[in-house]
Amino acid sequence: MTARRLTTMLAGLTVALAARSVGAVECATLPMTIYATGSTAAKPLLAEIGKFMAGQTPAVTVVYLGAGSCAGVDAILSGTPIMATGLSYWDTSGTEQKCDVTSASGVSANIGISDVFATTCFKLPGGVPASVSDTLGPVQAMMFVTHRLSVEKAISAEAAYNVYGFGGQSQVPPWTFEGSIFRRDALSGTQAMIATAIGVPADQWQGTATTSSSDMVMRVGMANFANQSIGILSAEVAQDNRQMIKVLAYQNFGQTCAIFPDSSEMANDKTNVRNGQYPIWGPLHLFVRLNASGFPVNAKAGEVVGYIAGTRPAPAGLDLVKIEAQRHAVPPCAMRVRRMQEMGPPMSVAPTGACGCYYEMAATNATTCKKCSTASECPASAPICSYGYCETQ
């Protein structure tokens, strides 16, 4: 995407957001505010952490604006201020509240959140600047979806290239009606990641625009012609709306087998994401600015990032593995692969403090792993006791 086009889109987004009037408190008057913006997929996680931080002494308020992944990158790398009303924050009971930023100059974001690598949003020949840290968080899978009554079960990368590269002229039946081919926009992390996967630049997608993930669900799920409908969603949204839509298995370029992100269409185990078989996935990116010593400029923002990424021990009562499992994301400790660039080759990893068994239990309420209190209870084939289960490593 060109910088000029993205800047124009971001400016339009800022104006649109600032134009809304909710009539809430001024965010700056809340106790010790931390501003986070970007991916909408991160909101449930932030809600849990926001609830916890609000109960700290002194209290910290996590204020969040869902604005799209690339807007999150832009907020930290370019310092584009937040100017909007109706931002979210959470009180000690976890109830979502709203506040406004009415200052003409806006406020600086402390955390930028993106489903995709910064280089997917912007041309960064030197990579992310040294003054910014990019911490990798839970993994999110992206997927193609269709109406729940569609007879279609799978789509290939080649077919998706034609559908989203040519829209109504795809010549790939049944996806040949522009009005039934739904897309997001170039700021969307879901669209940006899938764009990389299928080779259609995110700003060249054809089809009918939707305004949000929930709009996508409605448009696909209520399409007049079930078979012709197609859209894209993150796992979190897609799998929470199975009463309206269904996930299509995905067949990568040159392959002959289509694969679901889970072990089956209706499962929730993310087995094929965790082992790298399902291709369209990536870690959540958490961007913060660093000071001259290499530490987060805002220490509390660094703390929040550490909790989400799992690099900082979660406080008692904050079970992020369980939260992520229930939100259809995968914490790094449950992954057996990692990738260092968008849709790059997956590499084997042996996470320290593996939580695959516990994740499985939290996500599906079942696991074949052996429970344990200490490693002495574990067999040689899975000798490590971690998160209460015997793990292989």
Partner 1 sequence: MRQLGPAGLALIVLCISVAGGTSGAGCSILLDSSANPYKCVTDDDCVRFPSAACDDIKKECVPRLPMFDAGMVDTGGAGGTSGLTCELSFDNKARINVTGPDGGLRPLPPQDGGP
Interface contacts to partner 1, rule CB under 8 A: 5, 9, 153-156, 158-159, 161-162, 165-166, 171-173, 185-186, 199-201, 203-205, 209, 249, 251-252, 254-259, 263, 269-272, 274-277, 279, 334, 336-338, 345-350, 352, 354, 356-357, 359-360, 367-370, 381-382, 389-393
Closer to partner 1 by Cβ: residue 79 or 383: 383
Nearest distance in Å: CB 39, partner 1: 20
Closer to partner 1 by Cβ: residue 27 or 249: 249
| DSSP per position, 83-149 | --S-EEEE-TT--EEEEE---TT-B--SEEEESS-HHHHS--TT-S-TTEEEEEEEEEEEEEEEETT
What's the CA gap between 46 and 123, in Å, rounded? 28
Closer to partner 1 by Cβ: residue 8 or 291: 8
Nearest distance in Å: CB 333, partner 1: 10
Contact call for residues 363 and 376 (beta carbons, < 8 A): no
Contact call for residues 338 and 346 (beta carbons, < 8 A): yes
Residue 317, number of CB atoms within 10 A of its CB: 9
316 Cβ contact list (under 8 Å, min separation 6): none
Nearest distance in Å: CB 389, partner 1: 8
149 Cβ contact list (under 8 Å, min separation 6): 226
Closest by alpha carbon to 143, among 215, 248, 218, 243?
Answer: 248
Nearest distance in Å: CB 281, partner 1: 13
Closer to partner 1 by Cβ: residue 19 or 257: 257
Nearest distance in Å: CB 338, partner 1: 8
Closer to partner 1 by Cβ: residue 119 or 392: 392
The conformational region for residue 38 under phi > 0 = left, psi -120 to 50 = alpha, else beta, is: left
Nearest distance in Å: CB 261, partner 1: 12
Residue 305 CA: distances (Å) to CA of 55, 137, 235, 289: 17, 8, 22, 12
Nearest distance in Å: CB 139, partner 1: 13
Nearest distance in Å: CB 191, partner 1: 11
242 Cβ contact list (under 8 Å, min separation 6): 148, 266
Closer to partner 1 by Cβ: residue 109 or 187: 187
Residue 219, number of CB atoms within 10 A of its CB: 19
Closer to partner 1 by Cβ: residue 119 or 176: 176
Closer to partner 1 by Cβ: residue 35 or 389: 389
What's the CA gap between 299 and 252, in Å, rounded? 42
